[in-house]
Amino acid sequence: MNRLDSLFQKKKNNILSIFITAGFPKLNDTASIVKQLQASGADFIELGIPFSDPLADGPVIQDSSTVALANGMTLKLLLQQLREIRKEVNIPILLMGYINPVLQYGIEKFAKDASEAGADGIIIPDLPMQQYLEEYKSTFDQYNLKNIFLVTPQTTEERIRYIDTNSNSFIYLVSSSSTTGKKTGIDGAEDYLSRIQKMNLKSATVVGFNISNRDSFQKACKYANGAIIGSAFVKAVSNSNDVAQSTKTFVDSILN
Amino acid sequence: MKAVSKYGVSENGYYGSFGGAYIPEILYNNIEELKSKYLGISQSEKFNNEFSELLKNYVGRPTPLFFAKNLSEQYKTNIYLKREDLNHTGAHKINNAIGQILLAKELGKKRIIAETGAGQHGVATATVCALMGMECIVYMGETDVQRQAPNVARMKMLGAKVVSVHSGSKTLKDASNEAIRDWINNPENTYYLIGSVVGPHPYPDMVARFQSVISNEIKGQLKTILGKENPDYVIACVGGGSNAAGAFYHFLESEDVKLIGVEAAGKGIDSGHTAATLSVGSAGIIHGSKTILMQTADGQITEPYSISAGLDYPGIGPVHAYLNEVRRANYISITDTEALEAALNLTKKEGIIPALESAHALAALGKLQFKKEEIVISNLSGRGDKDLETYTNYLNELKYAKQN
Ligand SMILES: Cc1ncc(COP(=O)(O)O)c(C=O)c1O
């Protein structure tokens, strides 16, 4: 069974996901970070595929992408590292990246290699639903790779229903209309999140963007099954000499 | 603004396999709204009256079609220059800016954002925003802020906020990234006024339609001058490809008219310092559109280079990727030095200082074989005021080289 499916079956509340750009801050830090995230109690991981032009990201994740690329990270190397990581880590791991690197890698080859390396799903912010359904879905399904859709404060109720119908995993609720890490905290998103909560979607929901600490994590979890922390964590490890220790300190500050 | 069928955009936004709208979900409503309304609005009588009136009395259209006698003698053919440089604000960019600002007004948007390379689109946008009383923010790469300083000063005087962008190669691609990020952060009140035939559908088609006034006028003017509407060649420079798309538009279905797009080779297509996308690029997705772009084998977008800020872009409009693929248009490239020489040549021979971008189209005249009786149109997309410093430096270098 897909690890994401098992997670959302087992756990309904306070699911914590952490995002980290692969190959950041150092090329070989990813394994230590991911292992520590599991040890400290994160429920699933989003592993960023670095891209030269990350349009939906704010400065923190943009910079981490630039550093990772300069470190020599590629999609191929990322999948090699993931294969090694999977020997010790069994929580769900999602890849998050832009469409162009995936396209150049080859859709079918990507789905196969990512799945074999141990990825459970993917988030591609610049792949619209329609294109996914027409050109990607059958391949991703064949390799049991979940495609995660985003919903934003702008998304109409009708479209949320449509996304829910076509989703085969959780739905990513973007907390505000913004690039990543634009604000700290999700104040102001309560009405939107409770509106979605009341829709009783069939899919699980996880809130992301602007979740930065224990307080915003807990707030988000009132309205959804869990929440994702990105920029705040990337920042926390960015100047670290001991990424495992920094990871532990960060996750502890959220959960304990 | 009649639709062109064979080479026009499909209902879901494609030219062959190129185009589409690869945008984050946050922009879904914005793109859907544009998609469902741009044709209706831009084909309404009210819009057309306003658009024509502004093009005539504000922009100064129609622009002349000038028979360049000395250039014609030099190249032993008949060369006509379509004088887009004589437009208000000095380039073709204003045609599109007028069209889109009227659309933005109709959509009830108050805040306008734009990207700019050479600054001509930024100036055009700042100008129409001043005219309509709208807030204007222009994103411009730091490199371009420096090399196109006169246009930065103009935008500021016109009341625009110019945001200098420090990421990547600090040029047009990076300015476009930042403009898209702004849009993601302000989807409700903001209209993104894109300056070329790039970006997600419906922008490429919309911009081409607003620029199609260029070829529409050429047809009428040739009819008056020569008694026939079609030339043998239409030549235009290609950054994103808007002046070329406009100059080609009404000739696309006349297959005997040869269409030539001219990209910037920079220091040469094999030098690693080039912006000749169709020579060195491959299929992929940039700024919401599937097209040809410059990238690594790993799908990272590479940094382009050209002396001309307006051509310094690693992608190309999807319509050109398609016209190239089906060989309806031919694309060649011109180096920095060839463009500089062509600019000096036009200045000396015809008393017209062209924009560096347009100088690429002029340099192409020396690369093609024309017959004596053929009619050749070169689209002079803009004037060279913004490039004076670059020209002066080049002239000084030449003088210095001669002395030593
Ligand atoms: C005078 C002039 N010509 C051409 C261009 C290139 O743009 P496009 O290829 O969209 O016509 C620019 C862009 O800034 C310009 O200023």
CA of B266 to the centre of ligand 1 (A): 15
A29 assigned to active site: no
Question: In which residue ranges of chain B is pLDDT below 50?
Answer: 1-4
DSSP state of B86: G
**In chain A, what is the straight-line distance between the N-terminal and C-terminal CA atoms, in Å?**
30
Type and span of the H or E element at B19: strand B18-19
SS3 assignment, position B17: coil
- The amino acid occupying position B335 is T
For residues A211 and A175, the answer to whether their CB atoms sit within 8 Å is yes
- Report the 10 Å Cβ neighbour count for A90: 11
SS3 assignment, position B139: strand
Question: Would you state the structure tokens that stand for residue B70, as one six-digit string?
Answer: 């000395």
- Residue B339, exposed/middle/buried by CB under 10 A (0-12, 13-18, 19+)? buried
- Cite the DSSP H helix spans in B262-403: 277-280, 318-325, 336-350, 356-363, 388-403
Measured in residues, chain B has a length of: 404
Choose among B209, B266, B212, B202: nearest CA to B236. B212
Please name each of the domains of chain A with its CATH number: 3-255 (3.20.20.70)
- What is the C-alpha to C-alpha distance for residues B218 and A235, in angstroms, rounded to an integer? 56
Residue B37, Ramachandran bin (φ over 0: left; ψ between -120 and 50: alpha; else beta) = alpha
Query: Is the pLDDT confidence value at A10 over 60?
Result: yes
- For A236, residues 6+ apart whose C-beta sits below 8 A from its C-beta are A246, A247, A249, A250
Choose among B341, B300, B306: nearest CA to B144. B306
For residues A46 and A169, the answer to whether their CB atoms sit within 8 Å is no
Confidence band for A13, pLDDT divided at 50, 70 and 90: very high
Question: Would you state the structure tokens that stand for residue A220, as one six-digit string?
Answer: 């988000």
Contact yes or no for A76 and B298 at CB 8 A? yes
- What is the C-alpha to C-alpha distance for residues A98 and A112, in angstroms, rounded to an integer? 18
User: Among residues A5, A43, A46, A120, which one is catalytic?
Assistant: A46
DSSP state of B61: P
Measure in Å the smallest separation between the Cα of B101 and chain A Cα atoms: 23
Choose among B258, B260, B254: nearest CA to B278. B260
Alpha-carbon separation of residue A67 from A73, A98, A124, A243, B262 (angstroms): 9, 17, 20, 16, 35
Choose among B12, B34, B6: nearest CA to B250. B6
CB < 8 Å to A182, chain B: 185
Contact yes or no for B26 and A177 at CB 8 A? yes
Choose among A243, A244, A253: nearest CA to A212. A253
- Residue B11, exposed/middle/buried by CB under 10 A (0-12, 13-18, 19+)? exposed
Average pLDDT, chain A: 97
Longest dimension (CA), chain B: 64
Among chain B residues, the shortest Cα distance to A132 is held by B22
For residues B301 and B287, the answer to whether their CB atoms sit within 8 Å is no
Does B6 or A68 have the greater pLDDT score?
A68
Give residue B3's pLDDT.
47
Give residue B404's pLDDT.
79
Choose among B382, B345, B386: nearest CA to B84. B382
Preferred mutation among A51, A74, A96, A126 to probe B, highest tally of B CBs within 10 A: A126
Taking the CA of residue B91 as reference, the ligand 1 atom at the shortest distance is 1
Confidence band for A1, pLDDT divided at 50, 70 and 90: confident
- Cite the DSSP H helix spans in A118-228: 129-131, 137-142, 157-166, 190-197, 214-221
- Cite the DSSP H helix spans in A143-181: 157-166
For residues A244 and A36, the answer to whether their CB atoms sit within 8 Å is yes
ipTM of model: 0.95
- What is the C-alpha to C-alpha distance for residues B272 and B305, in angstroms, rounded to an integer? 8
Report phi then psi at B376, rounded to 5: -120, 125
- What is the C-alpha to C-alpha distance for residues B303 and B168, in angstroms, rounded to an integer? 7
CA of B398 to the centre of ligand 1 (A): 27
Task: Establish if B286 touches chain A: CB-CB under 8 angstroms.
Answer: yes
For residues A122 and A95, the answer to whether their CB atoms sit within 8 Å is yes
Type and span of the H or E element at A145: none
Give me the residue from B184, B284, B302 closest to A179, CB to CB.
B184
For residues A163 and A155, the answer to whether their CB atoms sit within 8 Å is yes
- What is the C-alpha to C-alpha distance for residues B80 and B41, in angstroms, rounded to an integer? 34
CA of A77 to the centre of ligand 1 (A): 39
DSSP state of B55: I
- What is the C-alpha to C-alpha distance for residues B25 and A129, in angstroms, rounded to an integer? 8
* pTM of the entire predicted model: 0.97
Alpha-carbon separation of residue B2 from A1, A218, B9, B217 (angstroms): 55, 56, 12, 14
For residues B79 and B365, the answer to whether their CB atoms sit within 8 Å is yes
- Cite the DSSP H helix spans in A26-125: 29-40, 59-71, 75-85, 99-105, 107-117
- What is the C-alpha to C-alpha distance for residues B19 and B194, in angstroms, rounded to an integer? 15
CA of A42 to the centre of ligand 1 (A): 50
Residue whose token pair is 């200045």: B347
For residues B315 and B286, the answer to whether their CB atoms sit within 8 Å is yes
Give residue B240's pLDDT.
98
Cis status, amide bond into B204, omega within 30 of 0? no
- The amino acid occupying position A138 is S
Cis status, amide bond into B62, omega within 30 of 0? yes
- What is the C-alpha to C-alpha distance for residues B235 and B331, in angstroms, rounded to an integer? 10
Question: Would you state the structure tokens that stand for residue B41, as one six-digit string?
Answer: 């609005």
SS3 assignment, position A239: coil
CB < 8 Å to B287, chain A: 55
Q: What is the pLDDT of residues A186-226, one digit of tens each?
A: 999 999 999 999 999 999 999 999 999 999 999 999 999 99
Pocket test for ligand 1, best of B323, B381, B383 (most atoms within 8 A of CB): B381
Cis status, amide bond into B318, omega within 30 of 0? no
- Per-residue buried b or exposed e for B64-76, using 16+ beta carbons within 10 Å of the residue's own CB: ebbebeebbeebe
